[in-house]
Amino acid sequence: MSFPNIKAMVSLLDDTDNEVVQIVENQIKELGNVAVEYLEKEWEHNGLNPVIQKKIENLVHEIQFQKLETEILNWKNDGTNDLLTGLWLIAKYQYPDLEIETLRKEIIKIKNEIWIKTHEKMHPADMVKVINHVLFDVLGFESNTKNFHAESNSMFNLVLSQKKGNPVALCCIYILVAEYLDLPIYGVNLPNLFVLIFDYPGYRFYINAFNRGQIFVEKDIDEYLKQIKIEPDHKYYKACSNQEIVIRILTNLSYAFQKNGDEYHQKEIDRLLEFFRD
């Protein structure tokens, strides 16, 4: 469809006949992502008509969200469940123009900072100390204790730029960097807390990225579960999947919207979570 045709359709968005408006909105949404560029141009041209501008904003969001739904479902079903891709897709909910390479370059920069300070024969615990030093002392990443439930904790681009995050966000940086360094560091999905495991024969310990990479052991998990009155389960001691990480982040984002009274966006995130419920 040409720009003039979309322009004509947009002009009907403030029609007094609601049925006409509904038909036009449906026709534009059926065009999918190809209509977004034209709609954004029309948004600029309708600066004096806030009604049309708002409707255009809603249409663009709905079209982009439909595309995101497809991408999230494809990610879930593709068998690889690449973590960086999953984090990128979640961030696209609020930043639809975000490029995955932007995130990848930031992770590689962090990896390079760590790599030059390590060597092959380094003990795993010493390797973790180097990662902690670079992340928390050199680069200044920190726990977002003041805004623990903020939406920004689920937007990986903001976590990287603001250098603040909740437990799962900081652990994701750790996991992605470890992947580039060929280190066996993975996520552990504890109740109310997300930590890491260094899982290699002869060297098995845990890391709390939210506490500046503090190292701890299995008995500490025993004690933690006892304190929160939850029965021990083998899943609390082993690495979780990237799909579980994405589910946890989406759950956090849903809660953030709920906490802010944003029912509309909470329902959209809950729709994405439905893809992961068997």
pLDDT value of residue 185 = 98
Whether residue 36 sits in one domain with residue 130:
no
Whether residue 98 sits in one domain with residue 19:
no
Whether residue 65 sits in one domain with residue 101:
no
Whether residue 228 sits in one domain with residue 102:
yes
Whether residue 209 sits in one domain with residue 119:
yes
Instruction: Look up the pTM and report it.
Output: 0.89
Using an 8 Å Cβ cutoff, are 175 and 187 in contact?
yes
Whether residue 184 sits in one domain with residue 56:
no
pLDDT value of residue 16 = 67
pLDDT value of residue 47 = 63
Per-residue burial over 30-59, b = 16 or more CB atoms within 10 Å of its CB, e = otherwise? ebeeebbebbeebbeebeeeeebbebbeeb
Whether residue 44 sits in one domain with residue 155:
no
Whether residue 107 sits in one domain with residue 43:
no
Last residue of a domain, which of 77, 108, 129? 77
Ranges of residues in the chain whose predicted pLDDT is under 70: 1-4, 11, 15-16, 45-48, 278
Whether residue 197 sits in one domain with residue 132:
yes
In this structure, what are the phi and psi dihedrals at residue 203, rounded to the nearest 5 degrees?
-135, 95
E strand map for the chain: 142-143, 164-165, 185-190, 193-200, 203-208, 214-216
Last residue of a domain, which of 29, 48, 77? 77
pLDDT value of residue 164 = 97
pLDDT value of residue 15 = 66
Whether residue 134 sits in one domain with residue 22:
no
Amino acid at 54: K
Q: How far apart are CA 224 and CA 232, in angstroms?
A: 10
* Contacts of 157 by beta carbon, 8 Å cutoff, 6+ apart: 91, 95, 98, 102, 103
pLDDT value of residue 79 = 85
Domain count, the chain: 2
pLDDT value of residue 254 = 98
pLDDT value of residue 46 = 63
Whether residue 125 sits in one domain with residue 27:
no
pLDDT value of residue 2 = 52
Task: Give the range of the structural domain holding residue 20, as residue numbers without chain letter.
Answer: 3-77
Coil, strand or helix: which one is 235?
Answer: helix
Q: How far apart are CA 197 and CA 184, in angstroms?
A: 8
pLDDT value of residue 40 = 80
Last residue of a domain, which of 40, 57, 77? 77
Annotate 57-70 with DSSP letters as a single string.
HHHHHHHHHHHHHH
